[in-house]
């Protein structure tokens, strides 16, 4: 890959993606908070919703947490309890389990949308495109498992070094993974694209759901207390 393109994609694009992400999140929360809750398709069809939704949501959240901890934990810190090789084995095992769960879940949701007539009629094209983009990203992630398992430990550790250089604004961040597999690079670029469109899609409900749940629970408790009085 050309040096300029490599630096553009893996040194500067992450900063651009995060700027767009946080601008979009803050803007939607402040200005359009009423539109944040995702439209539920359960009203149209419950078939496959529970299994598909749970597998996808729990799987993708755990994969995200794993990526965050794995990429941004300094080597000196995790070396207090494990070696890089052990960390890689743990990442491959848990990443594989939750990644496959997320893929199965999103596949169920996709098939459900295509087979159910009411969902197909009332659905929006961007919903299908978003599902396909997420599925593509997850398949890239699962494909990278095999590359990580067969490549050197240093190759795996370099991904964490790259991520930490990005967040500390090091100008040579992109050079760290210049020689890495195209699968890794596609996975990273697709992930950054998802971050950029995240605030403007139904994915925003992942921010809102926990907050809404606790607010709704408190409200119900107060109301039920008044009824008893």
15 is in an annotated binding site: no
* DSSP state letters, the chain: --HHHHHIIIIIHHHHHHHHHHHHHHHHHHH-GGG-SPPPSTTT--TTHHHHHHHHHHHHHHHHHHHHHHHHS-HHHHTTT--HHHHHHHHHHHHHHHHHHHHHHHHHHHHHHHH-HHHHHH--HHHHHHHHHHHHHHHHHHHHHHHHHHS-HHHHHHHHHHHHHHHTT-TTHHHHTTTS-HHHHHHHHHHHHHHHHGGGSGGGHHHHHHHHHHHHHHHHHHHHHHHH-
Show the domain range for 65.
Answer: 3-228
Average of per-residue pLDDT across 97-101: 97
Residue 227 has pLDDT above 60, yes or no: no
Average pLDDT, the chain: 84
* Structural domains in the chain (count): 1
Tokens 């995702």 correspond to 38
79 is in an annotated binding site: no
pTM: 0.83
180 is in an annotated binding site: no
pLDDT band at 191 (very low <50, low <70, confident <90, very high): very high
pLDDT band at 205 (very low <50, low <70, confident <90, very high): confident
Q: What is the CATH number of the domain that holds 211?
A: 1.20.950.20
Residue 36 has pLDDT above 70, yes or no: no
205 is in an annotated binding site: yes
């Amino acid at each position: 890959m050309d040096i300029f393109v490599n630096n553009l994609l893996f040194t500067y694009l992450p900063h651009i993606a995060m700027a767009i992400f946080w601008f979009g999140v803050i803007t939607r929360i402040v200005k359009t908070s009423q539109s944040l809750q995702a439209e539920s398709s359960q009203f149209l069809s419950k078939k496959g919703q529970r299994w598909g939704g749970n597998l996808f949501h729990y799987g993708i959240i755990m994969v995200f947490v794993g990526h965050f901890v794995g990429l941004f934990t300094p080597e000196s810190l995790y070396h207090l309890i494990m070696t890089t090789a052990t960390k890689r084995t743990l990442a491959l095992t848990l990443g594989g389990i939750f990644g496959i769960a997320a893929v199965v879940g999103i596949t169920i949701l996709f098939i459900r949308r295509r087979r159910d007539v009411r969902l197909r009629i009332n659905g929006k094209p961007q919903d299908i495109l978003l599902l396909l983009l997420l599925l593509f990203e997850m398949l890239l992630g699962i494909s990278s498992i095999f590359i990580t398992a067969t490549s050197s430990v240093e190759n795996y550790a370099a991904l964490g070094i790259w991520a930490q250089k990005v967040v500390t604004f090091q100008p040579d961040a992109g050079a760290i993974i210049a020689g890495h597999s195209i699968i890794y690079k596609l996975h990273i670029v697709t992930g950054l694209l998802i971050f950029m469109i995240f605030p403007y899609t139904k994915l925003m409900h992942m921010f809102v759901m926990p907050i809404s749940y606790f607010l709704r629970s408190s409200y119900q408790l107060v109301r039920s207390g008044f009824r008893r009085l």
